[in-house]
Amino acid sequence: MVVGDFPIETDTIIIGAGPGGYVAAIRAAQLGQKVTIVEKASLGGVCLNVGCIPSKALLSASHRYETAKHSEDMGISADNVTVDFTKVQEFKNSVVNKLTGGVGSLLKGRKVEVVQGEAYFVDQNNLKVMTEKSSQTYTFKNAIIATGSRPIEIPNFKFNKRVIDSTGALALQEIPESLVVVGGGYIGSELGTAYANFGTKVTILEGAKDILGGFEKQMTQIVKKGLKAKGVEIVTEAMAKSAEESENGVKVTYEAAGETKTVEADYCLVTVGRRPNTDELGLEELGLKMSDRGLIDVDKQGRTSVDNIFAIGDIVAGPPLAHKASYEAKIAAEAISGEKSEVDYLAIPAVCFTEPELATVGYTEAMAKEEGLEIKASKFPFAANGRALSINATDGFVKLISLKEDGLLIGAQVAGAGASDIIAELGLAIETGMTAEDMAMTIHAHPTLGEISMEAAEVAIGHPIHTM
């Protein structure tokens, strides 16, 4: 007996349950919509399962290990500091499980229907959700595509046992003695830092002139200094050519400075970017306007060229950041509900969890000058801050970008301990239209790293206290 595929009706269907999709589902449900969310893998998407969260757990554990081994400056030393990497992985997985379980509870609490399977569009009001055993049609008024991205696989570096992507690097069952990282962006630099902390000999091959291309050179220089102190070899303007795997390792061939060279390691981690997951959704049935790279064209509300279809996150233009996806998710859900919300990316931060951390929001000095803005760049060093000195983390600075005319804050960059947290205040300042004087007049608790932002603002208005 064949059971008919009777369509299930819903107001809004969301494809993908990552930090874009599940946030969109919650916001849409809050606004009174009947919501269905489709996920082919795990709730939380790449970020919670094999990206942002597990990588920070691994970094945190590696930093604890390095601190335990190297705190002689504070009069603390320890013998025979060891790592049980199985327990490190258990800790990482426990963090992931708590968060993904929390997402499930939040969706259930909002009465969002969660469907496991792969979505394929039939037309602009119907899609099929397929599993190995069944196929179910859903009829919807609106849809939000939030399918994220996946690592790019480059020629001659097919992902396998010894050539791995970021997911593979997070799942290693042992600390490798050596690791080659192809790509010195934020993922490669973060994971390279984590394993270098654990004692791995790390080599980073970067095709551009510098690693961490999204950040200013004066910021990346501090990170490079720290990486080299850990024994990391950084080769820039290097073109990876091939990887030859063996049972116990991999030999990577690359070109640099006009020469062909090789480096051998236990593993080769390839982190050269990510590709949008838009190729297996049946989007050709909808006729959506897309770029050559597979990104979906959207307006300021996330609406595609088909009025009732929205797209957010890594599959639209802009940096592949989890918090960007979550922000766009709320905008799209509100737009579907008839609100006038639209995106404004000026105060969207970017963070790299290297040592020290890097963070930027709004305009950089170079961006402002390219647009012909008359600006003032004002810096204050961590080395002149009491809290930074007391935690022995004096590398770095806070830089504020303000308009000369009225002191309006339009950008900020932070390199140093806690940059990922410090940037939040600076983003808020830009979002709310604060001036450098407003920041300088805001009383900051002492002693804290947050004071560095206040001190940089005092430099901007010409009345610094703790620097000449």
Active-site positions read: 446
Structure tokens at 101: 């379980």
314 annotated among ligand-binding-site residues: yes
190 is an annotated ligand-binding site residue: yes
* 186 annotated as a binding-site residue: yes
**Any binding-site annotation on 432?**
no
189 is in an annotated binding site: yes
Answer for the pair 253, 244: CB distance below 8 angstroms, yes or no.
yes
Determine if residue 79 is labeled as part of a ligand binding site: no
Q: Which of 445, 439, 430, 442 is nearest to 460 (CA)?
A: 439
CA-wise closest residue to 5 among 130, 135, 133, 114: 135
Residue with tokens 């009491």: 386
CA distance 463 to 437: 10
d(C-alpha 66, C-alpha 72), whole Å: 12
Per DSSP (E only), the strands in 172-277 are 178-182, 201-205, 233-235, 238-245, 250-256, 259-265, 267-270, 274-276
CA atoms of 360 and 369, how far apart (whole Å): 16
**How long is the chain?**
468
Q: Does 117 show up as a binding residue in the annotation?
A: no
Ligand-binding site membership of 185 (annotated): yes
DSSP conformational letter for 291: -
- Looking at residue 250, the DSSP 8-state letter turns out to be E
DSSP state of 42: -
Q: Is 149 annotated among the ligand-binding residues?
A: yes
- Among candidate residues 255, 300, 250, 304, the one with its CA nearest the CA of residue 281: 304
- Closest among 298, 260, 294, 179 to 227, alpha carbons compared: 179
Using the Cα atoms of residue 42, residue 46, residue 47 and residue 50 in order, give the sign of their dihedral.
Answer: positive
Annotation-wise, does 188 bind a ligand?
A: yes
Dihedral sign computed on CA atoms, order 419, 422, 424, 428: negative
Residue 387: CB atoms within 10 A of its CB come to 18
Would you say 430 is a known binding-site residue? no
> Cβ distance 111 to 102 under 8 Å?
no
* 147 assigned binding-site residue: yes
Supply 82's token pair. Answer: 């060891």
Q: What is the C-alpha to C-alpha distance for residues 263 and 250, in angstroms, rounded to an integer?
A: 8
Q: How many CB atoms lie within 10 A of CB 318?
A: 14
Q: Is 214 annotated as a binding residue?
A: no
Do 337 and 170 form a contact (C-beta atoms < 8 A)? no
Q: Which residues does the annotation place in the binding site? A: 56, 147-149, 183-190, 206, 273, 314
Q: Which residues does the annotation place in the binding site for FAD? A: 56, 147-149, 314
Q: Which residues does the annotation place in the binding site for NAD(+)? A: 183-190, 206, 273
